[in-house]
Structure formats: C-alpha cells, structure tokens
Chain A
Amino acid sequence: MADLALPAVFLPLLGAIIAGLFGRAIGDRASQIVTCGCLGLAAVCGVVVFNDIAVWHHTATVPVFTWIDAGQLKLAWALKLDTLSAVMLAMVTVVSFVIHVYSVGYMAEDPSIPRFMAYLSLFTFFMLMLVTASNFVQMFFGWEGVGLASYLLIGFWYDRPSANAAAIKAFVVNRIGDFGFALGIFAVYYLFGTLDFAPVFGAAPAMAGKTFVFLGMHADALTVACILLFIGAMGKSAQIGLHTWLPDAMEGPTPVSALIHAATMVTAGVFMVCRLSPMFEYAPIALGFVVVIGGTTCVFAASVGIAQNDIKKVIAYSTCSQLGYMFFAAGVSAYQASMFHLITHAFFKALLFLSAGSVIHAMSGEQDMRKMGGLWKLIPITYVVMWIGSLALAGIPPFAGYFSKDMILEATYASGTEVGQYAFVLGCFAAFLTAFYSWRLLFLTFHGHSRADHDTLHHVHESPNVMLIPLYILAAGALVMGGLGYHWFVGEGAKEFWGNAIVVLPSHPGIAGAETVPGWVSALPLVAGLAGIATAWYAYIRQTGVPAAAARAFEPLYLFLLNKWYFDEIYNFIFVRPAFWLARVLWRRGDGMVIDGFGPDGISEVTGDLSVRASRLQSGYVFQYAFAMVIGVAIFVSWFLFWRSA
C-alpha cells in the first residue's frame, strides 16, 4: 500500500505538466478537469496511505532513484512514509484538491486558467516532495520548489507592479531563510557525514554536547546546526524578522492565499522542526530560541492584525500569529500539539481565506473592510461558514481550534521553563487579540450599515456551488477535526499514533505535562477568547465610535500597528537602499575607476603616452641619434666594466 504514495506525489506533477505545457491546446475546461482529476486521485491515494500508516503502522521508505553521489555524499530520491509525513500527505492532498475545485469557480473569468491550475498542481507536487523527503536535500528541493510556486502564484497577475514586487520579495526573503537552511545542511553533513534522516537521527544523541568551530567560535554542534536550520523555517513560516513577505503575498489570487499562505507551505517550517525533533531534542538552546521567536511572533502578528483594513491582510497576519503558536509548541517539545494545530489550522484558515475570497468575489474585487458592512443578508452561506472559521480560530469549543490551541498553551505552561512562561503569557494575550480581530472582521464585513457604493452593492451575490461545496468540506473539518483528532494526535492514543516519527526526551514533559496543569490554565485561553469577542462586539456593534476615539487617543500606538511595526521601512532603509547604492559604487568606482583605471585602461594610456614621447625622439636629426647612441654605448660599456668584473 505504501506504493500508493508514488501516485499521490507524482499525479499532481503530471497534472501540472499537462495543463502547463498543453493548456492552450486542450483548453480551459480540459485543464481544469485534468488537474482536479489528478488531485482527486492523489487525495484518495493520500488518505489510503495515511490510513495504512497511521492506523496500521506500515511505515516505509519508497526509493525512486539515485540523486547525488559525490565523495561520501550519497543521496537518493525517496519517499519516507511515517505518521508525520502521512498526516501531511493526507492533509495537503485533500486541502489542495478542495482548493483546486474552488479555483474552478473563483478564477472562471480569468484569461489564463490553465496556467493557474498548472501552478497550483506544481505547488502541490513540491509540497508533497517536501513532506515525504527522506533526506535534508530532498526536503530542500521541495522547500525551494514551493518557494518557486509561491513566487509564480503571487506574481500570477503579472501586469500589476505590486504583484511582481511582492513575488520577488517573497522569493528573496525566503532565500534569506534558505541561506540559513543551506548552512544548516552543510553543518549536518560536516558533523554526521551523511544527509539521510535516519542515520543522522540515530547519531544525534552521541553528538549532544560536542562542539565545532563555526565562524571562528567554538560552538555547540547541534545548537548551531538546529538554529541554522530553524532560520530556514523562520523564512518559510514567516516568523518575526522574516515575515515581511507574507502580508504582501496577498497580492496573489485568494485560492493561492488559502492553499499556500495558510494551509500548507507556510507550515513547512513547523513540519521541519517536528521532523527534526530527534535533533532539536538534544539542542535545548535551539529549542529555547524557537520558543522565543514563536511567542514573540504570535503576539506581534496579532497586534498588527487588529489595525489592518484589508480583509486578506487581517487573515494573513492571523496566519503568521498562529504559526507562532505552532513554533512555541514545538519549542517546548509538544511536537504532537504543534502538528495537531497545524492540521486544524489548515482547515479553518483555508476556510477563512476561501470565505474571504467569496466575500471579495461578491464585492467585485473589493478587499477594504471599510467599504463593506451589512453583507450578511446578501451572502448568508459565506457568513455562516466565516463564523465557523472564526470560532475555530478563536478557540471556542467544540470547534477544532479549541482543542489544539488549548493543548499548546497547557503544554507550554507545563514545560516549566522561563521561555515557556514567556510564551504562555504572550500566547494567552494573543488569544485575546485573535478573537478581537476575528470579530472585528466579521462585524465590519457583515454587520452594520453598508458602506459600499450602490453599483457594487447591486452586484453582490452568493458564490456558485463549485465554490460553496469546498467551503462546506472545510467547514466540516473546522467543526469536527479537533474532536476527532484529539485522541490520536495528543490524547491517549498519541504514543501509538506517532510511533517513532517524533522523539521527545523523557526529561521534557511535552504534551504529557498538559494533564497536570491547574484548572485556571485550561480556562484562561477560552476566557481570553470570549473577552476578545466581547470587546469587538462593544467596539464595533454597541459603541461604534470607540475604535476611532481609541485610534486618536493612542495615535502613536495606532500608527505603529497600522504600519506593521515599521519593519518594511526599516529594512528598506538598512538593507535595500544601501545594497543598490553599494552596487552602483562598486560598479562605477570599483570596476570602472580603480580596476580598469590602474589596469588595462591605465596601462594602455601610459603606453600611449610613452609612444607619443618616443615618437618625438624621432626628430630626423642625425646628430641627435648619434648622440643617443654614444651615450648608450658609454653606459653599456661602463656597466660591463664595473659590475661584471667586480
């Protein structure tokens, strides 16, 4: 049955190739059928494989063929199938299939449908290669591949300068993360002499505490390797500092935001940390670093989310914030909780994005919430599913997010470390902010008086079924996934479910610690969430003047949040502009004046000068020549007499 992983991974590639290369020839409809069909089959295979592995524990590695063989480095293309990859395999294929179908409706008016479907399928292929990788380099292949697909899809509407800029930004910021990832891979190879997961994980305990010289410093080997790898994860999963590309990535069509920038690609970093748990477990400092970054990101992104007016940007920052939760969960060794939240989040966040897409679709492309309002009567189905998504996001029982988020915060509290407490406090505060911005979004969009112009309002309509059915599927996931998965992912069945895929040292409490926390810890996230909803209700339904008044009263803070903590401005000032300035200086001054000036041009000029002077010597007067000759002979003879005889 494990062989079914092959079609699950490669069918999307097949679909991408057919739609991408022959899309013009076979037409829009055929491209849609081919890609959706391939993805549908892949999803079936993915679920079967998941069942086979997670339930029956038939873990396997399916070899494909040799990849790199140089020196001692031997790498193969292979699919590693254990619970961790099977969970991702099933989730990615199912969510991707749903979004493929949704795209048929959403992109119906677009002139380049085959290209869009091809990109989506191509992305899915790379994502599956990433999650099924059996070595670091194949993971890197998938990793950069999803980055490419993301670049292509963000810049899908290539006529827009803003889309092109966002696409480049996404690729380059991810490359900065990948710079760390690549160095991490080099470090792993240097330390372990191999890049296959299995032998590296086997040797990791023996590597604990060893040091090596990195950039002139004696550093703990595993800590350095893990932090470098984690920098890659920070780029891909938009953690603070390397998050700036994610909000801009909303330039892409909404199905892209749902698939890539919510459900799958951005969670690759979290997946990586979980996959590498056998290494991270022996690098406590790296784990602490993960917790701090995750905790900081979750509150930073949520705080920015409350001040945004673009409906997609709010959800984008929300994603960034939720990824922070997943990271600090992984950092306190609650990898299972992290993966659990990853899966539930994939459903409810994809749902939120697609609902937002439905709203935008209904509003003829308008994304500014200040121009919406009162839509609930016009698009009731979208309204309902958006509520479901928001309830799941805010962690209200019995929706999916409640189970996973609660588990994360409890495990974090139970970890007992200082960084764990830091993350717990920020996580609870972020839970309040999350609920607040979610209901701010709901109220601004669906309630109150409409602020849209008459023309737009006239065209508002509920989306067609091809878009609504995917919403139902995802809504069902957001409703039941938490309750269904709890037992297996983090409950009593967890040990058996995960098998050897995740390693947790006995000294780390991880998810086991969650059972022992006091009652107020379990209740706090829920209370924070309800408080957030209540605050939003007060500010946007009851006393609608409050937000404006608050913005005036705390203007610096408001501007700080509205401008996203000024990250873009600061980066522009300290990196982008100096780089271009330096580029021009090196070119004009370095190459032009210094190297050429002293090198070829300078020499040829000097040679030219000399030849002009030499030609002046050719005066034509015989006595001058004779004079020069005599002097020359004199010098030559005297040199010969004095030096040679001496």
Chain B
Amino acid sequence: MSHWPLLSIVTFLPILGVALILILRGDEAATARNARWIALWTSLVTMLVSFVLWADFDTRSFDFQFVEQAVWLPGLKIAYHLGVDGISLFFVLLSTVLTPICVVASWTAITKRVKEYMIAFLVLETMMVGMFCALDFVIFYMFFEGVLIPMFLIIGVWGGARRVYAAFKFFLYTLLGSVLMLLAILAIYVNDGTTDIVTALNHNFAPALQTWLWLAFFASFAVKVPMWPVHTWLPDAHVEAPTAGSVILAGVLLKMGGYGFIRFSLPMLPDASAMFAPLVYTLSVVAIIYTSLVALAQEDMKKLIAYSSVAHMGFVTIGIFTGTPEGMQGAMFQMLSHGIVSAALFLCVGVIYDRLHTREIARYGGLVHNMPKYALAFMVFMLASVGLPGTSGFIGEFLALVGAFKINTWVAFLATTGMILSAIYMLYLYRRLIFGVITRDDVRSMLDLNWREVVVFAPMIAVVLWMGIYPSSFLHPMQPAIAHIVQHLEAARQTPHAPALAQR
C-alpha cells in the first residue's frame, strides 16, 4: 500500500462522492435517499482507508509519513505537500470517523435539501482532512479557510431560528483571526522564501519576529479553540446548528486551534511561546472556571454542552503550553477524547430534540422511565465528560494537569477546580433530563433509541472506554512527535536569546 498516495485518497475521496451525488437525477424522494446512501458509503470507505494509515503508521518515528510532494507553483516555491505525523494522524482519523456518524445522525432529521446537505458534509470532510495533512502553508490556509464555507452553510441553511445571526457571528469571529494568520504566513514566506511547513518548522526565527508571528497565529487559533474571551460565537453556533453540524463543530473544528498551537506555535516559535505561556495559562484558567460556572446557569442543553466544551478546551491549551511531554500528550489526548465525547453529547441532545423539538432542559425529566438505553448511553458520555477514570476524559485531563503542576502549581490548582465544577453542571443536567418522574404526556410518549441510533452510540461508547482503559493505542503513536517538539523547546531554551525563559 505504501506506493499509493494514501493521504490524497483520504482527502479527496469525499469529493468523488460529491460528484456522484451531483449527477443524481430523478424525483426528490429518490434523490434524497440515494444522496444519503452515497454519502454514507463514501464516508465509510474514506474511514476504512484512513484506518490503513493508522495500521501502517511507524510509531517509532517522529517524522512525517506517507509524504506526497508535487511541484505546483515552482516559481513561487509553493508545492502540493502532504504528510502526517503522530500529531496529525489522529485528527485525520477523528475527521473520518465522525463524518459517517454525522451522515447517519442526519438520516431522518434532515428532510429538505438533502442532496446539498450531504454535499456540504463531504466537502467539509475533504477540507478537514486536507487541513490536517497539509505541509505547505498555502494549502493549509486554503483548507483552513475552506472549512468555514460548508460549516457556514450548514448552520445558515439547516440551522434553527436565529441561524443567520449565529452563522455570521461564527464567520466573522473566525475570519477575523484567519486574516491575521494570513499576514503571518506572508511574513514567513518573505522571511523563508518558501511556504513549506517542514522548512519553516526547522527555521529559527528572530525573537522579535517570533513575537509578531505568534500573536498573529494566536488570534486565529484562539478563536477556533475557542479561548476566553473570544468564545461567545460557540454557544450561538451550536444552538443554531443542526445536530450533525454541532458534532463536527465540537468534534473537529475546535481541534483546529489546538492543532495549530501544537503544530506551528510551539515548534516554530518556541521563544515567543515561552514568553506568552503565562497569558495562555491565565486565559485558560479563566475559561475553565468562568465557562463552567456559566454552564451551570444554562437552561438550554446545547448551550450547556457548548460552554462545557470551552472549559474542556481550557485543559488543552494549558497542556500544550506547559511544553512538557505529559502535558502535551495530555492535551492531544484531551482533544481526541473531547472530539468523541462532546460529539456524542451533541448526538444525545439531538436524539431527544428530534423527538420533542425543544432544547429547553425543563421540558424534559424522567426520561429513564421510557428511554433506559438512552439513559445508559448518556450516562457513559456524561461520565467521560466529567473525567471519570476509566473513560477517555480522565486520561487527557489528568496528563495535562500533571504537566501543569510541573510548571506552575497555581495553574494546576485553579484548573483542577474544573474537575469539581464539571461534575456539578453535568450531574445537574443529567438529573433534570433523565431522573425524576415524568409529568408531561409528550415526554411520556417518547420512544427509546432506535436501531440506527444504537448503531451510532455503541461504537462511540466502545471508543470512550477503550481510550480510558487502554490509552496506549493512542498515546504511543504520538509519543515520538511530541518528544521531538519537547526537544526542540529544550534546545531553544538553551540558546542565549531567550530572556523570558532565563528568568524562570
């Protein structure tokens, strides 16, 4: 298999599905049905191909693998350059695993413009995978921005009542950051003479330039994560997005920020990263405590989970900027775990939203009586979100905090309060939705999970437990790449032009 351009296949296979959907003809019902099936099969095949990546991945190497390089714009030294290392591999997998789940989750929920909807998701998959594979800034930027377009449409077309407001808020926030990143990429191009990412990663930028580049990248990634205080687009976007849109938003799009930090900010700009680490810690700790409290006050279940996402991503940003192997692996793991768990929680919300068409927590209650399977699935994901040991949520949070404690005990102390707060708002949510007696007839008539929903949740539960009980499958492949970055940081720390670090 090694001679096949696997990454290009994974990236562009969904486009093939798009082409197939586009040539569909016939009456509306048949087209919709065929579009669903094509989208499902395409995304499933893509997923299987991406598993080959995982199986063939050399876990001892920190280097980029499955590299593909082709001259594109030779005069400008811009190339088509793809490759994955232990860091990006799992984000590719996350994208390819969540897309078929989204397709299945939208099976009956989406009834209008099904064809366009499925096209949007397949294009989105291409953009996400391409972004994580890209090793050239121009390609990276194209995919990075490209992701916005289908997502903008998914929220704006298939969203809820205030979808236009949410879509614009989402678009403006994220675009504002991206523009600054584009400037940074231009600066790197001027400085390096090439837009190749691998070259840039090995380039030593002058400290003054590092500061500006770091801030420009930060503006873009912080919005994506999202970090406090640029998080307010997230609750609105989630609330208005259709269920599958929320799944991708929480599952993959939020990870683009964390991926950016760990791929670019830290290894490329080590001095500036060390200098700004206290800023990141502060914002992350505020995010954890502030948004956890805000989550407590929510009456809309999607908003509650959206705010909890911000808090959970706070652990990620702390972990990354500790620059310790434990912290960074924890952050990576937390992103993967959150990708599965928050996606699953949004699916859980979707299940009951599809039945009752309201997101108001108070309208439910006592669901355990008529939906025991649902109660069990929700319980597992809730516990993973709370970070119970044995679930995926624990490993990431724990490692990130272990790393944080090494660097700064105050950060670890304050961030660990998130452990208490997350338990409060999640258990409180669970109690209001699931426990108690049923008082309303429409709630009483709700049916338990159907087989299609079971098919979605069962593998996700399995993954959550697998990640919690045997996390080595995930920690091991990423170890060399993380160790490489840590070495790089250590080396930068030794060089004389790092005044900020010398003081510590």
Contacts and interface: CB of A to CB of B under 8 A. Distances in A.
A565 B172 CA distance: 55
Contacts of B233: 600
Interface residues of B, number: 61
A590 B402 CA distance: 30
A583 B424 CA distance: 12
B173 interface: yes
A646 interface: no
Interface in A100-154: 137, 140-141, 144-145, 148, 151
A344 B145 CA distance: 67
Given A190-B405, A215-B410, A586 B471 contact: no
A155 to B, nearest CB: 7
Contact of A179 (B329, B420, B471): B420
Nearest to B383: A148
Nearest to A214: B409
Contacts of B325: 70-72
Contacts of A65: 470
A584 B297 contact: yes
B294 A591 contact: yes
B444 to A, nearest CB: 14
A581 to B, nearest CB: 9
A141 B471 CA distance: 14
Given A65-B470, A590-B294, A164 B436 contact: yes
Contact of B173 (A145, A168, A189, A600): A600
Contact of B388 (A148, A164, A186, A584): A148
B413 A183 contact: yes
A599 interface: yes
B358 to A, nearest CB: 20
A68 B326 CA distance: 10
Contacts of B5: none
Contact of B431 (A164, A586, A591): A164
B296 A172 contact: no
Interface in B443-481: 469-472, 475-476, 479
Interface string B274-300: 000000000000000010011111100
B297 A73 contact: no
Contacts of B209: none
A582 interface: yes
A299 B177 CA distance: 60
Contact of A586 (B290, B401, B404, B470): B290
B389 A69 contact: no
B417 interface: yes
A159 B469 CA distance: 33
Contacts of B230: 599
Contacts of A604: 168, 172
B33 interface: no
A68 B405 contact: no
A599 B228 CA distance: 12
A183 to B, nearest CB: 6
B498 interface: no
A640 interface: no
A45 to B, nearest CB: 22
A583 B294 contact: yes
A401 B303 CA distance: 54
A567 interface: no
Interface in A430-471: none
Interface string A205-218: 00000000111100
B389 A140 contact: yes
Contacts of B388: 144-145, 148
A145 B389 CA distance: 7
A215 B409 CA distance: 6
A586 B293 contact: yes
Interface string A149-190: 001000100110100100110011001101100110111011
A155 B368 CA distance: 12
B477 to A, nearest CB: 12
A534 to B, nearest CB: 46
A190 B403 CA distance: 9
Interface in B414-435: 416-417, 419-420, 423-424, 427-428, 431, 434-435
Contacts of A70: 325-326, 329-330, 333, 399, 475, 479
A67 interface: yes
Contact of A591 (B172, B232, B389, B402): B232
Given A155-B435, A186-B401, A171 B293 contact: no
A579 B293 contact: yes
A520 interface: no
Contacts of A185: 402
Contacts of B330: 70
A182 B401 contact: yes
B239 interface: no
B158 interface: no
Contact of B409 (A172, A213, A582, A595): A213
A587 B401 contact: no
A580 interface: yes
Given A144-B388, A148-B388, A71 B296 contact: no
B229 interface: yes
Contacts of B290: 586, 590
Nearest to A161: B436
Contacts of B413: 183, 215
A507 interface: no
A619 interface: no
A66 interface: yes
B389 A580 contact: no
Given A214-B409, A600-B173, A182 B229 contact: no
Interface in A47-80: 65-73, 77
Contact of A190 (B297, B383, B406): B406
A71 B333 CA distance: 13
A596 interface: yes
A214 B295 CA distance: 30
A246 to B, nearest CB: 18
A179 B417 contact: yes
A164 B406 contact: no
Contact of B424 (A172, A178, A596): A172
A187 B290 CA distance: 25
Contact of A71 (B329, B405, B428): B329
Contacts of A176: 420
A69 B475 contact: yes
Contact of A599 (B232, B403, B469): B232
B296 A583 contact: yes
Contact of A186 (B383, B402, B469, B470): B402
Interface string B377-410: 0000001000011100001001101111110011
A164 B401 contact: no
A596 B232 contact: yes
A158 B435 contact: yes
A595 B294 contact: no
Given A183-B416, A216-B410, A580-B296, A69 B472 contact: yes
B195 to A, nearest CB: 31
A580 B469 CA distance: 35
Interface string B314-325: 000000000011
Contacts of A582: 293
A252 to B, nearest CB: 14
Contact of A600 (B232, B395, B399): B232
Nearest to A186: B405
Contacts of A141: 389-390
B224 to A, nearest CB: 15
B412 interface: yes
B401 A583 contact: no
B169 interface: yes
A175 B294 contact: no
14 contacts: A67-B472, A71-B325, A145-B390, A158-B435, A159-B436, A168-B424, A190-B406, A213-B409, A216-B409, A580-B296, A586-B290, A586-B294, A591-B294, A595-B232
In the complex, the 3 A-B pairs of residues with the closest C-beta atoms, listed nearest first: A71-B325, A186-B405, A583-B297
Given A215-B410, A587-B294, 16 more contacts: A68-B398, A69-B472, A70-B326, A70-B333, A70-B399, A71-B324, A141-B390, A158-B436, A159-B366, A167-B431, A168-B424, A182-B398, A183-B412, A186-B401, A213-B409, A595-B232
